Amino acid sequence: MYHLARVLKLFHPDDKDIVAGDAAVQALLEMWDENVLTFRVHPLLSGKIKAGDIVLVEYDFKGPRIPDNTVVKIVRGKTAKDAWQKMKDYFAGVKKRMPAATLPPLELNDKPYPMVR
C-alpha cells in the first residue's frame, strides 16, 4: 500500500543540529489524513527531496509484521497538486460523515485511575 504525504521537515545526518548514528535521511510527514509520522527516505531520493514536496510512502508490512515505511517517490507540479487535493477532499467528506467525538464530563471527585502507593 502507498500513502500520500507532504514533507514537513527533513533530518539529514550531516545537519549541524543533528547527531546521527546512521547515514540515512528521514522525513517528518503530514499524511493526507492529518497523521504526522516520520519515515525513512529511500537513498536514491535523499539528495532530491525537500520540505513541501508531496511524496508517496510505502506504508506496508513486509514479512512477519515488520513495517517498511519508506518514501519511495517524489511527486511535483500539477500531478502533486491534483493528487493532494483529491485526498484532502476525500478526507473532508469522511470527517463530515463521522460523528463528533464527545467525552463524558469529568467531575472533581472522579478518579479515573486508582492511586498506587
DSSP string spanning 3-25? EEEEEEEEE-TT-TT---SSS--
Specify the pLDDT at position 115. 56
* Beta-carbon contacts of residue 81 (< 8 Å; ≥ 6 apart): 54
Specify the pLDDT at position 109. 62
Specify the pLDDT at position 66. 66
**Positions of the chain with pLDDT lower than 50, given as ranges:** none
Indicate the pairing of strand 36-41 with strand 66-75. Answer: parallel
Domain boundaries, the chain: 2-96
Specify the pLDDT at position 111. 61
Return the bridge partners of 26, or none. 11, 40
Judged by phi (left if over 0) then psi (alpha if -120 to 50, else beta), residue 54 lies in beta
* Beta-carbon contacts of residue 89 (< 8 Å; ≥ 6 apart): none
Q: What is the pLDDT of residues 10-33, one digit of tens each?
A: 999 999 999 999 999 999 999 988
Instruction: Say whether domain 2-96 belongs to CATH 2.40.50.220.
Output: yes
Specify the pLDDT at position 68. 75
**Cα radius of gyration rounded to whole Å, the chain:** 19
H-helix or E-strand containing 56? strand 54-62
Specify the pLDDT at position 116. 55
Specify the pLDDT at position 8. 97
CB atoms closer than 10 angstroms to residue 5: 27
